[in-house]
Structure 1
Amino acid sequence: MKFNSREMRSLAKREKYLVAEHEIGHAYGLGHEALTCRNPGPSVMKQGTVKFGCHSDGPWYDDVQGVLAKY
């Protein structure tokens, strides 16, 4: 897995952690999700930076359930 250092440079440590979790989710075969922080709950597989505003760190319930469903 290779990260774009130009894009990652401006991110905080927690945000880099969430990006890494997101990319690992793809390695597990997960796709992008449309979930938000509130309804029904966050997902590191949400594309973009919206997940950075969620008040806890992932992986969240939806992410774990997605991996368990595959394996």
Structure 2
Amino acid sequence: MRYFRPNSMTWWAGLLAFSTGAASLVLPATGPLDQVSNLIALLAGSGDASPAGLMFLGLGLIGLRDRIERGFQTRD
């Protein structure tokens, strides 16, 4: 489980981006959860980023953080 690093800010940023993208796909725009959907839209930039783009960004941040850490460990 080398990708699970809750002490890393990059990991949390990636998780937030991934979660925002996934919630944008799942939550309806109207209905009983419309306030939560509005919050997710604000976090996503009011529709500037696609849900898939946010999910790929989140996974990329998590993978990049792991790769940078492994790169520094091999130089030591």
Answer whether TM exceeds 0.5 for this pair.
no
Q: Which protein, 1 or 2, shows the higher relative CO under an 8 Å CA cutoff with sep ≥ 6?
A: 2
Say which one has the larger Rg: 2
Q: State the TM-score, normalizing by the size of structure 1.
A: 0.32
Q: State the TM-score, normalizing by the size of structure 2.
A: 0.30
Name the one with the larger helix percent: 2
